[in-house]
Structure 1
Amino acid sequence: MRLPSRLILAATSTIVYLSSTAALNITIKQDVPLAPAKLPAPYAAAQCDEIVEHFGRLGRTTVWNLVEKVHMEGDTFEPEGIVRIGDDRYFLSAGEYTSPTVKYGNGIIINGTDRTAGSGFAHMIVFDGKGKRIADATLTERDAIEYHNGGIDYDGEFIWATIAQYRPNATATLMRIDPRTLEPTVILHVADHKGGVVHDTRTDKFVMLNWGSRNATTWDSRRKPAPYPAFTTFPNNVRNPSYYVDYQDCKFLGHPKQFDHRSTMICSGVASLSPTVAIGGVALVDMETMIPVAEVPITMTSDLGAPVTQNPMEVAIVGGRLRFYFMPDQHNSTLYVYEAEPNSPFEYGA
């Protein structure tokens, strides 16, 4: 099945925009709708104040109960972000690498970066609630240099993604994806790696995080972007003051009462302290300042030994309990669904 697209990414240092001849390739595995006929609200934003209230009870002694493990069918490549649309659809962003990046070595920096571009495909894969593969869309052409489809956000109408070169200080493209068809629309081009994006639906601003989430760039959609493939410039670039973990996947949470109605996102991530030591965590983050207003360590690992916060994360309140969805492993992926135990000692001061 092929649907019209507006994007082609060439396997050179120049990214070429074509208006009519590019194609989105979709492999259909099940003859079922890709998304619900009536798109539901995103779980995080719809349950904002309740999530913040539950998050405030978390701590180091919180007991996390594994309530479900869902094996995802087929090769998931390197999963980067996940959104749950309704109770029976998972949309997974992933990067398939056809040639690896190679570090220049000896501290050499060329055009602001320390390694070659590599090449690959950017994927958006759809699964049902049991992990059965419904569809796999490749959003870029073979051997594109922008192929890292990072952390994603869903705003009730579109999935938002940044497809970037897999190296720091490079380039990325912000795009929106229709979950009903998986058709991508290019929005703007950025002269930096962007590994994730969050859409504040109240202000219609987009926060994009760079390599390691060290900087946040905000685009106000009232400002017209530069014509693709020219780079859009931004009036502000906010430094992330927290080095606890590097955020991998974030969701727009809303404007919670507890934080004076400030724009807030929920993020998960990891930090590698050494070749053998990595820590995981989840944080509520002020989208204007990048200051974490609450954060908690997450120590669980997958069956293959990866921190569960390694890459994709989704969140919801289910049955009155705070639930996280994690998918840390590459290629052979399992979705780990955890709930915070309400009787954990820290939560109730025992």
Structure 2
Amino acid sequence: MHVFVSVVDRIREVLAIFPASSKMVNASALLALCASAAPAAGNIMLYQPGVSIAPSPLPPPGPSSHGEEIIRQFVGLSLATEWSLVDKVQFQGETFEPEGMVRLGNDRYFVSAYERPIPALRYNTAPDGADAQGAGFAHMMVFDGKGGQVADATITEEGSSEYHNGGIDYDGTYIWATLGQNRPDSTATLVRMRPDTLRPEPILRIQDHMGAAIHDLSSGNILTLNWGARSASVWNLRYKAEVPPAFTAPRAVIKNPSHYTDYQDCKFLGHSQHYAFRPVMLCSGITRLYGTVIGGVALVDMESMAPLYEVPLTMVSDTGMLVTKNPMDVALVDGKMRLFFLPDERNSTLYVYEPI
């Protein structure tokens, strides 16, 4: 069972409680105000009516809350490390093309994805990307710990050219994401949303495709990664952004010196004592090299994009997909580092691994 809700629907439900003559509210004025303020992109399908979309209160961000211990355990990995599949959870419903994932506590997974009913076209002039835009919608989906679908929010409007919802990060208050055109060298919008409302708040527009966002809680810097994570752009909300649709210039652009992995999804781990208190993130992804596909996870210096420690991963899903292909998250569970992967499209299963 599922229901459709919007901001205006919620207001109508509240207003129904009051008699028409009530002086407590001006119903027509309130509805008109909310209808004009609420974008069509705020539409949400609720699959478990009466169940909260997000935990309350919101939990702290797991990766950065335990970043030092996660880093300590990660740098102990090697090619010889064996991995144990500690959990496998089938996510219900259509998952489209999942790109990013954040885990809020033990019972909520937020998954960014995009739906593309009209596919983009590829030409010989762009072997690494799409020349034609295609058409689609960006989604933010929510699942419980058993894989049951809680909500699916469509966060772009019909006809929007920026519908590619990439890798995401959670800072304890907001989920950060980029909505980009589905092709390199294009445009994107940096957005943030509260997990309990899933309503995207545009922050600034970017004159390049961006496929992931990472928030450094300490400095306020936000990194966005372009197509294939070949470079990172640095932003900071302490500095005024241009008013959309105008583009804001990044404070810096950092070229990625590593070509081993095209990072898909990254999580902020904090300013690590292990690396002289530099800001560190954990990133995963895949790369196609010489007719084969390799996958891996890396600790990355957010100020230089230099990999600090890299580990190739060879685990595959039941369909044969490398687990690092799409979304990733990391957590410390019972003192042990766990990696969470959602590699398959449309019909997705969560794979949870611990090093042995």
Query: Same fold by TM (over 0.5)?
Result: yes
**Which aligned runs of 4 or more in structure 1 are off by greater than 4 angstroms?**
none
Contact in 2 for aligned 1:98/1:143 (Cα 8 Å): no
Q: Give CA deviations for 1:274-310 in whole Å, capped at 9, x if unaligned.
A: 45x2111000100010001111111101001110000
Aligned to 1:269: 285
Among candidates 29, 36, 42, match of residue 47 of structure 2: 29
Does 1:39 pair with 2:43?
Answer: no
Aligned to 2:167: 151
What's the CA shift for 1:20? 3.1
What's the CA shift for 1:25? 0.7
What's the CA shift for 1:51? 0.4
Among candidates 169, 173, 181, match of residue 185 of structure 2: 169
Q: Give the aligned length.
A: 323
User: Matches of 1:235 and 1:153 in 2, distance apart?
Assistant: 20
One-letter amino acid matched to 2:310: E
Identity, in percent, stands at 51
Aligned to 1:208: 224
Q: Give CA deviations for 1:18-39 in whole Å, capped at 9, x if unaligned.
A: 9736221100000200111111
One-letter amino acid matched to 1:206: I
Q: Give CA deviations for 1:57-110 in whole Å, capped at 9, x if unaligned.
A: 1010101000100000000000000000111000000000021111243x379x
Aligned to 2:355: 340
Gaps of 5+ in 2: 9-34
One-letter amino acid matched to 2:318: D
What's the CA shift for 1:144? 2.1
CA RMSD, 1 decimal? 1.6
What's the CA shift for 1:114? 5.7
What's the CA shift for 1:234? 1.6
User: The residue matched to 2:63 in structure 1 has which SS?
Assistant: helix
Aligned to 1:236: 252
Aligned to 1:330: 345
One-letter amino acid matched to 2:92: E
Contact in 2 for aligned 1:119/1:146 (Cα 8 Å): no
One-letter amino acid matched to 2:339: F
One-letter amino acid matched to 1:2: S
Contact in 2 for aligned 1:171/1:193 (Cα 8 Å): yes
One-letter amino acid matched to 2:75: G
Contact in 1 for aligned 2:213/2:225 (Cα 8 Å): yes
Q: Give CA deviations for 1:206-250 in whole Å, capped at 9, x if unaligned.
A: 000000000000001111111011101123111000011100000
Aligned to 1:80: 99
1:115-264 to 2 correspondences below 5 Å: 115-264=131-280
One-letter amino acid matched to 1:340: P
1:107-118 to 2 correspondences below 5 Å: 107=125, 115-118=131-134
Contact in 1 for aligned 2:120/2:130 (Cα 8 Å): no
Aligned to 1:55: 74
User: The residue matched to 1:309 in structure 2 has which SS?
Assistant: helix
User: Matches of 2:207 and 2:134 in 1, distance apart?
Assistant: 17
Gaps of 5+ in 1: 5-17, 342-350
User: The residue matched to 2:201 in structure 1 has which SS?
Assistant: strand
1:289-300 to 2 correspondences below 5 Å: 289-300=304-315
User: Matches of 1:197 and 1:330 in 2, distance apart?
Assistant: 21
User: Matches of 2:257 and 2:234 in 1, distance apart?
Assistant: 16
User: Matches of 1:298 and 1:255 in 2, distance apart?
Assistant: 25
User: Matches of 1:313 and 1:339 in 2, distance apart?
Assistant: 14
User: Matches of 1:21 and 1:86 in 2, distance apart?
Assistant: 29
Is the radius of gyration larger for structure 1 or structure 2? 2
One-letter amino acid matched to 2:109: Y
Does 1:20 pair with 2:37?
Answer: yes
One-letter amino acid matched to 2:43: N
User: The residue matched to 1:263 in structure 2 has which SS?
Assistant: strand
| Higher helix residue share | 2
One-letter amino acid matched to 1:30: Q
Among candidates 7, 13, 17, match of residue 3 of structure 1: 7
